[in-house]
Structure formats: C-alpha cells, structure tokens
Structure 1
Amino acid sequence: MTSLADQTILITGATDGLGRALAHQLAVRGASLILHGRSGEKGRELLTELRSSTGNERLSFVRADFASLDEIQALAERLLDVGRLDVLVNNAGIGVERARQESEDGLELTFQVDYLATYVLSCRLAPLLVRSAPARIVNVSSAGQAPIDFSNVMLRHGWDGTQAYCQAKLAQIMLTIDLAEELAGTGVTVNALHPASYMPTKIVTHLFTPQSTIEEGVANTLRLVVEPEFAETTGQYFNRSQTARAAAQAYDVTARARLREISEKLTGTPFPSLHDKDAGR
C-alpha cells in the first residue's frame, strides 16, 4: 500500500461533522487532501484551521453544490486533472428532511445529494482511481436502509423523509456492490459503512438526540481509508467496525441493474466498464 504521506485523498462534505473531523485526522497524518463543500467561505475557514493545527500545507478545497447535477459533473471534470487519486470518500449528504424538496434538476433532493452525487463521482473518477491503484472508494452510508420502489423513486406520491433518506443510503450500498464487482482485479476496492448512530452533526441534531460520538464515526471510517488489512477487502458493508448484512435489496441483481439504468438516465453518466487493470490508462 502507498504510504499515506504519498496519497491524495478526496473527502466530500468535508466542511462539517464527520467529514471535517476525518479531514483533521488525515491532515495530521500527512496526506494530501482535496476537501469538498458547498460553501466557499467554510472551505477557506477549514483550510486555515487545518494548516494551523496540523502544519500540513498539502490541502486544497473544491466547491460544488450537489443539488445541481451540472455542479457535480463540473467537479468530476475538474478532479480528473489532479493526476492521481488514492482514496475517494463519499461522505457528503443530507439527513431526514421535514418536507419534500427538489433539486434544481427537478429530482427528489435527498436521492440526488445522498446517492446520485456518489454515483457520478465514483463512476467518472473510476479510471483515475484505477490508474492510481492501489486505491479505495469508501461510501459513508447508514444502517437506516429502505427498499427502493422503482415506480416511485422520486417519491412524488407519499413522500416521507425517512424513506427518502433510507432508500438513498441503500442505493449507495447497491452501488458499492456493483462497483466492487466491476473493479475487481484493478486494485481499486469499494466498501460502504454505517460509521456510528446519531452522531452530533447538523443533519442529526435538528431531529434526533445524539447517541454516538463523532470520534467513533471517524475511527470506523478512518480504518477503511488507511488500514492495510482492508487493502483487498471489497464489496462489503460495515456496521461500525463489523462486517454486516445490508438490506435484502442490496443483493438483488435485478434491482441493482434497474438502479444502474435509472442512475445513468438521470445523470447522463454511464456505469464504468473497466474489466482489466489496464483500462483507462
């Protein structure tokens, strides 16, 4: 495995909560970090804080609002020029919302921010990750999972905030399994995890009482990012630190194929076809 000091790691949703705390842990270990957020002001503040507290100058910030497919695509395009990418941490997301909202693309907001952004970035950056292999994709998902009703994916009928969140998180795990199968043999691993339950982050505290610490969530995420023991582990879902079984739909080949088809149609981004380690070179 490449030394952490020689790695470039992208963390989405890095200006708050778990992403921000993870950025601190990786910065102090000397990794080169690309930190994403939707607020330029928060991004600049984060860079100043990290440089001051860790002495790490190998940090950059990229801005994109995941409520816009155009901005997600533009971010992917920009990142393709970074030269190498050792780890992609898909962490950005919103929680259980109180009311149904649509993105600027007319899509149910939670599905777009929590899942489609992960889909676009993972698929478009896959060739770069293969060129940088050994590399990893870590998807920050949730133990809260609900089957997708493919006749009502955008929840235009009977919208429920919990369903919106839980189906998007299950979709992340379904993508994790598909990408792991597609990238097998390339040196790129793909795993998903539920880092901890109800951490005291802004997507939790507006509705729920915190139960876990951010430190617990960071520790469980960090191990998938850096620990050598996970260098060849792929296609797995972890509940905190333990390998676990996701909701049944994650293992339904037909359901995953339908999700891929919908994802390609909604985003215009094809699922990658990288069957050998030289693909994309």
Structure 2
Amino acid sequence: MTASRQEQRAQQQEQQEQRAGSGAGERAAGPRTALVTGATSGLGRALALALHRSGWTVLAHGRDRGRLARLAAEAGDSRLVTLTADLASLAEVRSLAERTAARGGPLHVLVNNAAVGFGPPGAGRETSADGHELRMAVNYLAPTLLARLLLPLLAASAPARVVAVGSVGQVPFAVGDLAFAHGYRGVEAYRRSKLALAAGTFDLAEAARPLGVTVNCVHPAGFMDTPMVRESGVAPLSTVADGLRAVLPLVTDPAFADTTGTFFRGTEPGRALDLAYDPRFRRDLAAATDRALRAHMCGSEASDTRTDGSTTDE
C-alpha cells in the first residue's frame, strides 16, 4: 500500500471516529455505551477501539482473557470494560447478559459481531457445549439469545440499536435440518447460520420497534483480512477498515436512528437471500429457535417475547 493510500485510510478512519463521537442517539443526552462481541480481533477489535476513542463506554467481549487484557491496556482507561464468555455455551451467553445488566448502567447499542468462520479446509462437523452444530450455535443462536436477554435493558436505554454482523454468503436450508448432521461442510454451515441470522434480525426488528430499539444486519465487506478468513484458506479481498466503514455508521450515525429491519451490503441497503423474507421459513425458524433457547430464557424479563413479535405463556 502506498503512503498516500495509507494517509487516505487514516483520514477516513479519523472522520468515522469524529462522527462516532458526535453520533448515535442524539435524542438521548449523556455518555453512550455499547457491547461489542468478538472484540479481541478483526472488525470487533477495530470497532471497540474506534468507539472508545470517540468517548463511548465499550463493553468488550471475548473468549481469551489475555487478548482482552491487551485490548484494555491499549484503551488505557476504565471506559473499556472486558467481559469473558464462550458463545459456544448458551449458559455463558446468559451469564454475559446478566453481567452486562448487573453493571447498573444503560446499554445503547449491542453489536453481535462474534462468529465462527468456515474453519480450516477439510475440517469436520463440530458441536457446541449444548450439542448444537457449532456455527449455527455461535453465529445465530448465541446472538439471538443475547439480544433477547438484553432487550429490556436496551429498551430502558432507548433510543437503542442492535447491529448484527452478517454476510451475503447465505444458502437455503430446511429448518428441520438445523443440526446439519449429514453432508456437512464448514462453508455451507457458516452460510446457513448467516441466513438464519438475517431472518432472525427481521423478526427481532418487528418485536423491538415499539420499544424504541432498532435492529439491522450488515454484510460489512467481502473476505476481510481477519484471522477467521485466513484460517479458512481464503485470500482476503478487503480490509478491516473497509468493514469498519460499513458498521460504524449503523452504530453511531443519527441518520440511521429510525432505520430498522434492514439488511445492508456494505454502506448501502441491500437484500438478504429471498428465504430470509419468507413468512413460513421465518415462522418455522422462530419456533425451532424458541425450543433451542427456552431453558436459557426462563426467568428473564424477555422470556415472554418471541423473535417473531408474538408472545407465549410457556
């Protein structure tokens, strides 16, 4: 990369961070707080640090305590709070939500960024601590549970936002085959989970709209230069800075304060796979999701709210 190109990227990042500092939720006075999952590397790390530099309080989630400690040291003050959890365990997802709420402060933005990628070429099927297919568990069930559990706190802090980091790489699947037990491929498992995430985003947006919480899904950039992409053996096609340019405005820009239920491709509204908009698919997926998460929703304030906006007394 030439020096002039580096200077241009640095200027763009500075402008983004200035917008972040003046940005999100201008209707609400006072400091802003965001929870960013997967904040120890790649896009999540860049986003956490950009928000912190702009004056936000950042709750930075990660699995690795050492990486979180290094992130906190780089931030250099108490406005970056680290939270450890393995999102492959739904019990730990619930614990993460409980610890977030127990801080006693507001939560204005939840960024569900953490994900498991394709995996190394030829890798076999993996399962989560709860026995779910790993990519569906981490990329869809975990962010869905976290958003549901934190919805009361987000609503109490409204106007608030949920931003799901998705992908245009989606493939159709039958909801009855959520486990993907046969014919497994890591690439397809990832893409199934991203279709589920987009469909779930649209349902959550409908449920959250009356509460003053917007919910959107964004494909930040294609094959960013991140550890997740490099592990899969894919040559990067874009940079983390490219991804940050797409995600940061959805977190901070007042122009998106009322935008909800939208799939973004980069910085522009786009479209998810058609199946993500299909009422029957979404209804079946919501029912399967409820069954998978029910035990971890019990006793929560959000336990009576389904992602499709309906309620249940179970």
Quickly name the TM-score band, shorter chain normalised. over 0.9
TM-score between the two structures when normalised by the length of structure 1: 0.92
1:90 aligned partner, one-letter code: N
Please state if 1:88 is matched with 2:110: yes
Quick check: 2:109–2:160 contact (8 Å CA) kept in 1?
yes
User: 1:279 aligns to what?
Assistant: none
The SS at the match of 2:167 is coil
The one-character-per-residue Cα deviations of 1:85-107 (angstroms, maximum 9, x if unpaired) are 00000000110023211112111
Query: Shift of residue 148 of structure 1?
Result: 2.5
Name structure 2 gaps, 5 residues minimum.
1-24, 298-302, 310-314
Paired residue total: 272
Partner of 2:83: 62
Residue 149 of structure 1, CA deviation: 1.5
Deviation at 1:133, TM superposition (A): 0.2
Q: Which residue of 2 aligns with 1:38?
A: 63
Amino acid at match of 2:86: D
Partner of 1:34, secondary structure, is strand
4+ residue stretches of structure 1 with deviation over 3 A? Answer: 2-5, 273-276
The residue number in structure 2 matching 1:150 is: 175
Q: Which of residues 26, 40, 44 in structure 2 aligns to 1:15? A: 40
TM-score computed with the length of structure 2 as normaliser: 0.83
Instruction: Give the aligned partner of residue 312 of structure 2.
Output: none
Contact in 2 for aligned 1:4/1:30 (Cα 8 Å)? no
The answer to whether the 8 Å contact 1:142/1:195 transfers is yes
For 1:131-210, list aligned pairs within 5 A. Answer: 131-206=156-231, 207-210=233-236
Residue type matched to 1:246 in 2? A
* Identity value in percent: 41
Residue 6 of structure 1 aligns to a residue whose secondary structure is coil
Counterpart position of 2:289 = 263
Find the structure with the greater CA-based Rg.
Answer: 2
Q: Return closer, same or farther for 1:175/1:275 CA change in 2, 3 Å cut-off.
A: closer
Structure 1: gaps (5+ residues): 277-281
Is 1:222–2:248 an aligned residue pair? Answer: yes
Equivalent residue for 1:74?
95
Change (3 A) 1:253 1:275: closer
